[in-house]
Structure 1
Amino acid sequence: MPAPRTLLLTGAAGGLGTHLRKLLPSYGYRLRLFDVMPVEEVRDTEEVVTADLADRAALREAVRGVDAVLHLAGISLESSFEKILRANIEGTYHLYEAVREEGVGRVVLASSNHAVGYTPAPGPGGPLIPVDTPRRPDTFYGLSKAFDEDLAQLYWDRHGLETVSVRIGSCFPEPTTVRMLSIWMSPADAARLFHAALTAEDVGHTVVYGSSANTRLWWDLSSARALGYEPQDDSEPFAAKLIAEQGELDRSKPEQALLGGHFTTDPPIWPH
């Protein structure tokens, strides 16, 4: 499919959304921004919709006329089940209904490594984690991403709505922990991956891992590369400094031996 002319970017005020606002226009996208929080420093080429995913009328209006949707909106950390349900499960359902009703053909969905967070991380030289590994969510947040992937599959099978679900690792200008050396995705590589996911032919519902071409990589990027993704960055230049400060991973500790890191061991967040 040709590169979409107008892209709805949900979660545009967040950290990843802010990076992509700077990077995606160079790939030919005109951005329509959606977030419950105000978007700062709006450019002349950007449209902005400030609304909640629960506002179905505003959401449908935001979707109308776009060529594709990059869905980053929602809670990106653990929270109470009630908050996760509203933002990440019901909110994503509302988005898919709006996309279906408006006849938009492609969604790129921000999933997460936390959908498989209790999966053991491979040791040095061990086999990479495939995308078809059984889902083992590590939190209500991870559970919501597992749901979102299934929702995407349902809308492909029932309605022919294509989705690429991207299990994002950690997307920051540089990694900040030793664990992150294995799952880091540079913002520039994020833009490359999302562009590939938006433009590849016949994706149906495809699940990919989102990271750079890290020397210490934990998961298999072959399904992402099949979309045309060619990562250019590697976390290894940051490794020596981080290891000197934090030490090598201690695989006797679950938070360092499991894919989901501290999400697998942090105390649960109960309603309050």
Structure 2
Amino acid sequence: MSDQRILITGAAGIVGTLMRPRLARPGRILRLLDIAPLEPAAPGEQVEIVTGSVTDAEVVTAACQGVDAVIHLGGISREDSWERILEVNIDGTHTVLEAAQAAGVPRVILASSNHAVGFRRIGEAGPAGLPADSSARPDTYYGVSKATMEALGSLYHSRFGMDVSCLRIGSCFDHPADVRQLSLWLSPQDCARLLETCLSTAEPGFRVLWGISANTRAVVSQGAGEQIGYRPVDDAEVFADRMPPGELPGYLGGAFCDIPLGQHNPL
């Protein structure tokens, strides 16, 4: 039986760096793509390093050859100019999906964001929390790019039968940084659990899932994830006593709802 090969775009980014050791295992080769430098393989790790941008069709087409799945994390992770967001996040996602389809890759996981629905009011769906497939209400050009990513994923599933999972990630870091993240935190280990769940779904489909942990203060519904077997373990509440003073914002997108459109920002 041949090794499973998974392409990870944006592998040098925050989430990609956190996922690399957590997704590595015997019988699996991680093909890592980024414009930034990547560390060589660690002992016992099977990796293939590809240097290039998700906007480069030639590079992405070559990177998709012979892979079993694509985890698309590449892109600008904050608000930026419309031109940059369009080039990297929207056109880049189209380039990845087009290359995956041409190469016959059966499964793609897209890193969407809570900012695709950032102007949804917290609590508007009641105590059950906001469903994962709530229609888009983006808070920034960045949020628009994630809503577009989901739409592109839906198109490639419907047209070509590709299995596509869109993960509306909250905040994936080692620990939450503020009160808002106590509701939307996705621990690195739970992120790996969610990715593994998406990689092992039995029937091809299109799905939008929340990427959060089992947080006591969760304001979104885990129902869609539970349907495919995602069982988060971690809870941001263990960090609650370390949080700076603050209140839960009115909108899901928090401070992203207040920044000027197109402004590069450090959020």
TM-score range, shorter chain: over 0.9
Change (3 A) 1:103 1:213: same
Partner residue in 2 for 1:49: 50
Partner residue in 2 for 1:109: 110
Amino acid at match of 1:166: L
Q: CA deviation at 1:4?
A: 7.6
Partner residue in 1 for 2:135: 134
Q: Distance in 2 between the 1:198 and 1:171 partners? A: 19
Q: Distance in 2 between the 1:108 and 1:181 partners? A: 25
CA deviations on 1:117-149 (whole Å, 9 max, x unpaired) are 0000128x7330012322100000000111110
Partner residue in 2 for 1:263: 256
Partner residue in 2 for 1:148: 149
User: Percent identity between the aligned chains?
Assistant: 45
Q: CA deviation at 1:203?
A: 4.1
Q: CA deviation at 1:162?
A: 1.3
Amino acid at match of 2:167: V
Q: Distance in 1 between the 2:263 and 2:184 partners? A: 28
Q: CA deviation at 1:40?
A: 2.5
CA deviations on 1:30-73 (whole Å, 9 max, x unpaired) are 20000111112443521000011222111111010010000000
CA deviations on 1:52-105 (whole Å, 9 max, x unpaired) are 122211111101001000000000100000000000110010111100110000
Partner residue in 1 for 2:32: 33
Partner residue in 2 for 1:252: none
1:208 is the counterpart of 2:209: yes
- Structure 1 contact 3–198 (Cα < 8 Å) conserved: no
Partner residue in 1 for 2:119: 118
Q: What is the RMSD computed on CA atoms of the aligned residues? A: 2.0
Q: CA deviation at 1:26?
A: 3.7
1:24 is the counterpart of 2:23: yes
Partner residue in 2 for 1:8: 7
Q: Distance in 2 between the 1:76 and 1:27 partners? A: 31
Amino acid at match of 2:20: R
Partner residue in 2 for 1:253: none
Number of residue pairs the alignment of both structures matches: 262
Q: Mapping of 1:156-195 within 5 angstroms?
A: 156-195=157-196
Q: Distance in 1 between the 2:136 and 2:182 partners? A: 22
Q: CA deviation at 1:182?
A: 0.2
Amino acid at match of 1:101: A
Q: How high is the TM-score relative to the length of structure 2?
A: 0.93
- Consecutive unaligned residues of structure 2, counting only runs of 5 or more, are none
Q: CA deviation at 1:27?
A: 7.8
Q: CA deviation at 1:3?
A: 11
Amino acid at match of 1:262: A
CA deviations on 1:191-245 (whole Å, 9 max, x unpaired) are 0000001111114110000000000001111111212111110001111221xx3
Bigger shift: residues 217-226 or 261-270: 261-270
Q: How high is the TM-score relative to the length of structure 1?
A: 0.91
